[in-house]
Structure 1
Amino acid sequence: MRQTLRVAAYAVVVRDGRLLLARSPVPGGDPEWVLPGGGMEHGEDPYDTVRREVEEETGYRVEVTGLLGVDSVRRALPRRPLRRAVDHHAVRLVYEGRIVGGELRDEIGGSTELAAWQPLDAVTDLVRVGLVDTGLRLWRERPAAGRTERVDG
């Protein structure tokens, strides 16, 4: 089985009781809300990655105010036509950010289609990726070890 590794950086940006999120289209399914962020380019510092990705996906420039933690997930991705199955490992650095400039806008030609502020108390009702919950948990709990215990289910 082929092995892949993806290192990415994401931001938890909370302002006035609302969380900044981006929405990603899902082929054949409902779009999912995600934390703004994404994969590091070769040679790029994760601090620079998160700032670049937030601006690309939301239009906002952010100041990184802290590292909330690191999330590591390993999944077996099934075989697809003309491709082998993949043992995928995602390492995701989750930062806290504060808006310092720019204006809210949607990404054009990227991995997301919409950027929006969502009320914190409404996030659980959204179709979202698990990293949104992990990021919020890191933001709320601020664990000294920079990671939360996994809850299966």
Structure 2
Amino acid sequence: MRKNLRVAAYAICVRDGQLLLARSPASHGGFEWVLPGGGMEHGEDPYDTVVREVEEETGYLVEPTGLLGVDSSRRVVPDRFGRSVDHHGVRLVYEARITGGDLRYESHGSTDMAAWHPLDAVATLTRVSLVDKGLSLWRERPAAGRIQSAGT
């Protein structure tokens, strides 16, 4: 079985009780909200990745102010030829503050919209699990940089 490792960096940007999210097409159709961020390019530092990705997806310039933690996921998925791939995702979650830029939508990218959402309304959105994990890291600030899930 082919193995695939993807390292990515994401931002938790909270301002005035609102969380910045980007909207991405869902694999099952429709859309889901995601943390702004994405995959590292070869040779790129994760700090630089999150700065670049947030600007690409939202138009904002950010300063990462702290590494909140790391989320790791592993699953077997089919590749485009129907063969199985052992996919391991490592996602670094930073807290970041907006330092400039203006909210705009990404064109010709992995997201099509960016918006601020009240923190108390995030639970009502169709979203990827990393949004909840990132918010837990932001709220709890665990010393080990990871949220313990049931069974681990």
Task: Tell me the TM-score normalized by structure 2.
Answer: 0.96
Structure 1 counterpart of 2:119: 120
Give the 3 Å change call, closer, same or farther, for CA 84–94 of structure 1 in structure 2.
Answer: same
Structure 1 counterpart of 2:138: 139
Distance, in Å, in 2 between the alignment partners of 1:80 and 1:137 is 31
Q: Deviations over 1:30-50 (max 9, x none)?
A: 201000000000000000000
Distance, in Å, in 2 between the alignment partners of 1:70 and 1:81 is 28
1:1-153 equivalence runs, <5 A: 1-77=1-77, 79=78, 82-151=81-150
| TM-align CA RMSD | 1.2
Give the 3 Å change call, closer, same or farther, for CA 140–42 of structure 1 in structure 2.
Answer: same
Structure 1 residues not aligned, in runs of 5+: none
Structure 2 residues not aligned, in runs of 5+: none
Equivalences, count: 151
- Name segments (4+ residues, structure 1) moved above 3 Å: none
Distance, in Å, in 2 between the alignment partners of 1:81 and 1:104 is 34
The question of whether the paired residues in 1 share the 8 Å contact of 2:79 and 2:85 is answered with: no
SS of the equivalent of 1:24 reads strand
Distance, in Å, in 2 between the alignment partners of 1:42 and 1:83 is 27
Distance, in Å, in 2 between the alignment partners of 1:95 and 1:144 is 14
SS of the equivalent of 1:65 reads strand
How big is the shift at 1:25?
1.1
SS of the equivalent of 1:53 reads helix
Give the 3 Å change call, closer, same or farther, for CA 109–82 of structure 1 in structure 2.
Answer: same
Task: Tell me the TM-score normalized by structure 1.
Answer: 0.95
Distance, in Å, in 1 between the alignment partners of 2:99 and 2:60 is 8
The question of whether the paired residues in 1 share the 8 Å contact of 2:33 and 2:125 is answered with: yes
How big is the shift at 1:29?
1.3
Distance, in Å, in 2 between the alignment partners of 1:113 and 1:11 is 17
The question of whether the paired residues in 2 share the 8 Å contact of 1:30 and 1:127 is answered with: no
SS of the equivalent of 1:109 reads coil
